[in-house]
Structure 1
């Protein structure tokens, strides 16, 4: 098994606690798919589109900060896999920009389904095979933290690799959240 180079988090009760990165990201995928279904089966709903855009913007930012670097470090051939996923995620961010402007949700739905399938069928099994369980939990904790600080709007031209994305994304996230607040934009499923 390969170690992912992460500084230790203080354990609670002597053991690292939390959910595995696979569990965290799989739950986010289910939420994104449910929003996609909701958006594509009825009339265009601007609020559902906004929540989907915000959910995926946060999700992709967290993956760029922690999932892809873990793939690069722990998986043989990880650089090629991560580069491919980053390119596809950049395309998805461009589609999300269009969705927020009211464009047809079909291409976004297709890209989301492809993203979820690639993670579930390729990336997650590789990580589970190559990374110790404790590191998977530490990655899950970091993904959840990164997602809360992440942008709520697509920014396909910002850095997508550490260390720069770990600096830029939270700063842009503050601006996005301020914009969301003053425009009363909904960004979480619980707000629908």
Structure 2
């Protein structure tokens, strides 16, 4: 059986897309503390997932797939819009009466984006990049996620270099906030 560490980057990211889809579905019916926790988990997963894609996957796709620049530029525009929506939702909070409509807008945008990535980028990467490099990229994505910001930062650059420069300070700040939130929860 293949472990997560052995998965190639395409399998890893598709698994994350499926996890994100499941979280959206769960959030639609969740309430109270469970809803807040699910939303925090979704925010974190989306933030680290997109950062890792921007740092590891998109640069390779630009070089290796036909029409890579146009495809990646379109995905980056979508990711920027998703970060803006996610940031607005985060500021609103899941208990706000306006959360539902904006949440549905985010869900639609994220699911359409994931579908385009899988069709236009991931499937082509599978044929354009050798399996060993795809496995190495999977490991690199997992490492990048460990140091990525855990919240959306719409003003942050949408590129590998931008993420490498802005990401670590933002990640430290986010992870301190996460630790403070978790400590507050454990005292309740």
- What interval of TM-score do these two structures reach, taking the shorter chain for normalisation? 0.7 to 0.9
Tell me the TM-score normalized by structure 1: 0.83
Hey, what's the Cα distance between the residues in 2 that align with 1:185 and 1:96?
A: 24
User: Following the alignment from structure 1 to structure 2, what is the Cα–Cα distance between the partners of residues 161 and 42?
Assistant: 34
Cα deviation for residue 185 of structure 1 reads 8.1
The CA distance in 2 between the partners of 1:185 and 1:146, in whole Å, is 25
> Does residue 136 of structure 1 match 2:134?
yes
Contact 2:75–2:117, Cα closer than 8 Å, also in 1: no
Residues 65 and 160 in structure 1, CA contact (< 8 A), matched pair in contact too: no
Range that drifts further, 150-159 or 162-171: 162-171
Determine which structure has the larger helix proportion and give its number: 2
Question: Which blocks of at least 5 consecutive residues in structure 2 are unaligned?
Answer: 94-98
- The root-mean-square deviation of aligned C-alpha atoms, in Å, is 1.8
In the other structure, the counterpart of 2:20 is: 32
- Runs of 4+ that moved beyond 6 A: none
Distance 1:95 1:55 in 2: 15
Could you list the runs of 5+ residues in structure 1 that have no partner in the other structure? Answer: 1-16, 187-192
Indicate the residue corresponding to 2:111 in structure 1: 113
- Count of residues in correspondence between the two structures: 170
152-161 or 42-51: which moved more?
42-51
Distance 2:14 2:141 in 1: 12
- Which residue is 1:168 aligned to? 166
Asked whether the 8 Å contact 2:71–2:120 carries over to 1, the reply is no
Aligned to 2:50: 60
Aligned counterpart, 2:146: 148
